[in-house]
Every structure is written in structure tokens, then in C-alpha cells.
Amino acid sequence: MDNILIKISYLIASTFFIFGIKFLASPKTARKGNLFSAIGMLIAIVVTLFDQHVITFEWIIIGIVIGSVAGTIMAIKVPMTGMPQMVGLLNGFGGGASMLVALSEYYKIHLGTVSNASFNTELTITIALSILIGAITFTGSLIAFGKLQGIVTGKVVKYPGQHPLNLLLLIFVIIGSIHFALNPELEWVILGVSGISLLLGVLLVLPIGGADMPVAISLLNSYSGLAAASTGFVLQNEQLIVAGALVGASGIILTNIMCKGMNRSLMNVVLGGWESAGSSGPAVTTIKGNVKSVEAEELAMLFDAAENIIIVPGYGMAVAQAQHAVRDLFNILESKGKNVRFAIHPVAGRMPGHMNVLLAEAQVPYDKLYAMEDINDDFPNTDIAFVIGANDVVNPAARHDKNSPIYGMPILNVDYAKTVVVNKRSLNVGYAGIENELFFYPNTLMYFGDAKESVNKLVHELKNL
């Protein structure tokens, strides 16, 4: 295939990738973004196959068929509530693929299966980088998947000597990579680097609490892109370098946004989060005040009398798979002439955009979903702020209590609404391990129960009015 034609094709594919990411920035154009990215990848794959002068396509066809079937099954079977786990797995697959490709290139030269090929410093460095980043991404993503799926504990995991051990392993990997770059014929060195990198991925993600998964997934997404870019240098494939760099950069930007949404540094999240994290343990009453509860019948009358309503979804909605019930509530309130909107906190849920994905799947109109900075000023003019399964992201202590672990974290100002209704199973603490003073405010009503069942009861009562 003509070299100029290849370069032009790669440029076209890169353009599709860039526009794909641009379109993914908005829910209205997200489907178009997926389509553009897929077209760009198709162009890149086809051109690469012709560029590499493939002699036999049997194994390539087998791989494409297996991957396509597996991808189709996952796309059909995995519910929208399982998207965080799916994203975690796909990040891991990308990192694992990069690691295996780098090892494959190493053994092609090491075993002499390719004539006129030899190691050089640039090649060995990029192989080591691909293996390091790819291996960490692979095992780290598997742990993230396990935490989200409930296979691995979602609590912050800490043990004596944790940070020194991680630092020691990282030093071993760096020294091993340098040794490999200088002595590429030593097979045991690169295998040692691979093994330690796989272990490091587990140990780096294991301490991260379940509520910090949006940050972890964004970071692992960035790692998968960096691993792909490194592999592009190994294969001397410009398209892979560009695609990996785009994914890596976008992942880092998203990670930064997530950290700002919690007013925490990336290092604080990676090293295990809040020291006092309680991971939804039992509440210890330290806040003085009375908690007022409400039942569905009384709550329905309050909603019927309200005009402006803001719904604040949280992880509790996702766990209960209550998005369709929330959509029904939205529909019946709109049919009664109410102004209903949704306020989305950037770190609500277990992956970036988790609430947006669930509500979109339930066919809640996109224009009813508002980012925190776009709706926070409207709470004082809101009759009812309905919090469904959110906790720390609506805790007023973040604004004024300097001793609170969440002090300084941007929150949704639901307490400024005329009436706040909080739907939770109990008064248990959130991930930060502290009580939510919002529950004791005079304008707050607690609506206890499972999110799906509770919202369905409310919808039923509204229909009877």
C-alpha cells in the first residue's frame, strides 16, 4: 500500500477520533461520537492490515470473530447499571493487550523469528514502558471491576508498610526496566518487570474505596491510552500513538475534573482516600437535633402542592436500579404542570457520568439534566429538593466545618431549598464516615426505604390524588 495513502488514511482516522471525543462531550451527540470513533478505528485497522503486508489472515479473522461476538453479547446482556464494571473491564483489556503486544515484539526478536531485526535502546525502553503501564492497567482494572461488582471489598484497604512496599516495588520495576534496556537478551529481567507490574496494579488500586471509583476508572482509562501510545512506538505505528495519546490526555483531564469535584488531590485518592472513611458503617449520633420522617401519602401531597422541584440522584438510585421509577415520577410531575429538573454532582455514582448514563437509559430528557455549577444557584427558589440515595455530595458540613474530612468539597446546595426530602435506607454515614447534618435540618424530611420501592410508592400516591 502506498506510503502517502497510508499517512492520509491515518490522518482521516485521527480526525474521526478527535470529532468522536468532541461529540461525546454532550449527551445529545454521544451516539454520533461513538459512531465517529468506531469509523475511525475501522479505517485504522483496515489500513494497518494492508500496510503490514499480512500473508495469512486466519488468526486475524478468528480474533475479530471472537472479539465481535464477545463484544456483542456484552453490549446486549450488560444492563446500564453495570456500565461502571464494563468500563473497568474494557480499560483492563486495553492495558492487557498492550502488554501482550509488547511481549510479543520482544520474543519475535529474542527468539530470532524475524530476520534482520535487533534490539536498540529506543525499542527496549518502549517495550518496558508498554509492559509496565499495560500490566498495571490490566490488574488494576480487574480489581476496580471486582470492587464495583462486589467480588472485592469496596472499603479502603490498608495494611502496615503499604506505601513503602509500593514504592519499593516501583523502584524494582524502574531498575529492572533500565537493566533490560541495557541487556535485552536477559529474558528473566523482562519477565520480572512484568510480574512486579502486575502485582503493583493490584496493590495500587486495592486501597481505593468504592466511592472513589470515578477517579480510579478515569485514571485507569488514561493508563490504557498511555499503554497504547507506548505500544505504538514499539510497533512504529503512528495511528496507535495518536489514538493512545488522545485517550491518555482525555483520561487525565477527566481525572482532574473528578478530583476537583471532591476537593481532593489525586495522590490523596490513590493512597487510600479519607483517613476516617467509614464506607457506610453505622451512624454514631453526634449531631443534636430531631429527624423528621415522612410517608408516601403525605409526601405525595407535598409534591402536588409544589411548583419547582429538583431531583438529586446518587449512588443509592443506581444500587436500587430505580432510574425507571424516577423517570415515572418525573413524567407524572410534569403531567401535573410542575417544573422538574435533575441536579448532577460530578462524582455521584461509581464512574464519570454515572447518573447521566442511568437517566438517559431511562429516557429522561437530556435538557432536564443540569451540572452542579449550572443549577446550584436555583435551590433557594426551589419548593422541593428530592435527594435519592446521595449523601456526602449534599452534606452542608463541606461548606463550614473545617474539621470535616469533606471540608471544601463542592456540594449541591439542597439545604437552601424550601423543603428537602431525602430518600435513604437509614441514617448510616456515607463514604467519608461522617454524619450528614442535612438530615437534622428543620426543613428536611427523611423518606426511608429502598429507592425503587419508595419512588414507586410515591408515584402510586400521586396517581391517586
Stretches where the chain sits below pLDDT 50 are 274-285
Residues 203, 162 share a domain = yes
CA 384 from centroid of its chain's CA atoms: 30
User: Buried (b) or exposed (e) across 285-299, using 16+ Cβ within 10 A?
Assistant: eeeeeeeeebebeeb
Handedness of CA 378, 381, 384, 390 (dihedral sign): positive
Predicted pLDDT of residue 444: 94
Domain presence at residue 106: yes
Write down the pLDDT at residue 430: 65
- Please state the pTM of the whole predicted model: 0.80
**Residue at 264 is within a domain:** yes
| Cβ-count burial 35-65 (b if 16+ within 10 Å, e if not) | ebbebbbebbeebbeebeeeeeeeeeeeeee
Q: Is residue 56, in this structure, part of any structural domain at all?
A: no
Q: What is the pLDDT of residue 278?
A: 41
- The answer to whether 292 and 441 are in contact (CB under 8 A) is no
Both 371 and 410 in a single domain? yes
Cell representation of residue 97: 493487550
Distance from C-alpha of 251 to C-alpha of 87, rounded to nearest angstrom: 13
pLDDT at 65: 94
| Polymer length in residues for the chain | 465
Instruction: Say whether both 327 and 434 belong to one domain.
Output: yes
The predicted pLDDT at position 280 comes to 42
Q: Please tell me the total count of domains within the chain.
A: 2
Question: CA-CA distance, 435 to 396, in Å (whole number)?
Answer: 11
Judge if 184 and 328 occupy the same domain.
Answer: no
Residue with the three cell numbers 442511568? 358
383 assigned to active site: no
- Cβ-contact 33, 24 below 8 angstroms: yes
Q: Are 239 and 307 found together in one domain? A: no
Q: Phi then psi for 340, rounded to 5 degrees? A: -115, 130
pLDDT of residue 55: 67
- Sign of the C-alpha dihedral, residues 83, 89, 92, 93? negative
Kindly report the backbone phi and psi dihedral angles of residue 378, in degrees, each rounded to the nearest multiple of 5, phi listed first.
Answer: -90, -10
Q: Is residue 13 part of a domain?
A: no
Catalytic residue among 377, 378, 383, 392, which? 392
Residue 237 lies in a domain: yes
Do 253 and 303 lie in one domain? The reply is no
pLDDT value for 433: 64
SS3 320: helix
Sequence-distant (≥ 6) Cβ neighbours of residue 197 within 8 angstroms = 99, 131, 132, 134, 135, 136, 173
How would you label 370-387 residue by residue, b for 16+ Cβ within 10 Å and e otherwise? eebeebbebbeebbbbbb
User: Domain of 312?
Assistant: 296-464
Residue that finishes a domain, picked among 270, 305, 326? 270
